Chain A
Amino acid sequence: MSFISNYIYYIGAFGLIFIGLYIVLVKRNLIKVIIGLSILDTGINLFLISIGYIRRGTAPIFSKINIEIARMVDPVPQALVLTAIVIGVAVLALALSLAIRLYQHYGTLNLRKIKDQRW
């Protein structure tokens, strides 16, 4: 039981990652694949943040002049996640614009049917 409570954040993050990967690999509709990419990004960000956690930690902000330093969590993963979220949003925006143009050309979003490029 303590194993679960210790690793619950990792299990949750990787659960999201694998759900996202499964959606991207299996689903046919392009919009669902894009949503899968978004879930994958969310899972990865959750995983990155949970690496930096300290037991009973608090935010690394000096809101009062004398605050306990030893219990502050690691600030580096938070900086990494800031960047990763923005990059995820950028890819998502580009993917959605491509989906709009793809629908205008083909009339369908079914990836199995969009196979103009032959061998």
Chain B
Amino acid sequence: MKHSTFFWFVLPSAFLMVLFIALPIVSIVMQSLYTSHEQVLEIVESCGPFGCTEETSINQEATQALQAAEPLGKFAGLDVYKDRNHLAFAEIASAWVNADGLPDFGRTLMNLPFYSALVFTLVYTFIVTPLTIILGFFIAVAVNSVAKALKGPTIFLTLLPFIVTPLVGSLAIFWMVDARGILGNGLQWLANDPNLSVKASTPLMWIMLMFYGVWHSAPFAFVVFYAGLQTVNTDSLEAAMIDGANRWERIRYVVIPHLFPLVTFVALIQLMDNFRVFEPIISFAAQAHATSLSIAIFNDLGGETRLLSSAAATSVLTIIGIGILLSPVLVRTYRDFSKPS
């Protein structure tokens, strides 16, 4: 393709990407480096149906004057990143000095909001991503060998978890595992413990969230692998059969190597998606047991006082986290494509 043709071809999407992806990222990076101005407080009398009280309030005029002078806020550098609600350098340093052994240090770390969110996010990502790929692959192989007449309905049913809106899908499961729901009650009966409740136990809640994660995204992996299976060279398969390879060996030595580039693709998408785990925690009301980086951002923006700098800092950290996670896959893809063919 000529360079000028290529340029005009990608211009619209490049423009949209700058507008909707690059500029917002620049904006959150800026936001995360600034904090609010010092609030000028004053004591005023406030009256309402319950009488009058002396209350502290913000002096709007004085605060606005500060704001007008420096509209971006007060430059804070990396202070927001370093504070207790994010990377908590000071707290970690003191915990490292004062901790009574590694387990104690770990407990202190897990007590810091950013690290407990990060631990859950990473555990979730590293358990859900491989399970999704494996499950998706086996579903694809199984569906591929279903009789032709049944294929359509089977594919539709398999895709259902992916089609159902995440919030609705997780709410349906949430009510089933409720202590009075069908699965929750069944679990109590199985364990013979009337007080057992998925929603009350942190380990069970984590398992539940990950189970949901796999259930929801396996169909995505399935669709990709199923499409890939249609392109497997039948000659190679027949040759393998003649050589005496059984079904498993044919999958292991012919199908999997053929699908491997797709595994990279699915892993890439799933790592990005799972690192931003959000909906299931909301709809399982799991915030007492698990928080993720996205939940931390949501909480910063959803409180009565919006913490924009804090949310921006967590967003930047999330982007960095995704970058680190994806770098091995990206490097690999880059090498594959830059190999002289």
Query: Do these two chains really belong together in a complex?
Result: no
Which residues of A pack against B, CB within 8 Å?
none
Which residues of B pack against A, CB within 8 Å?
none
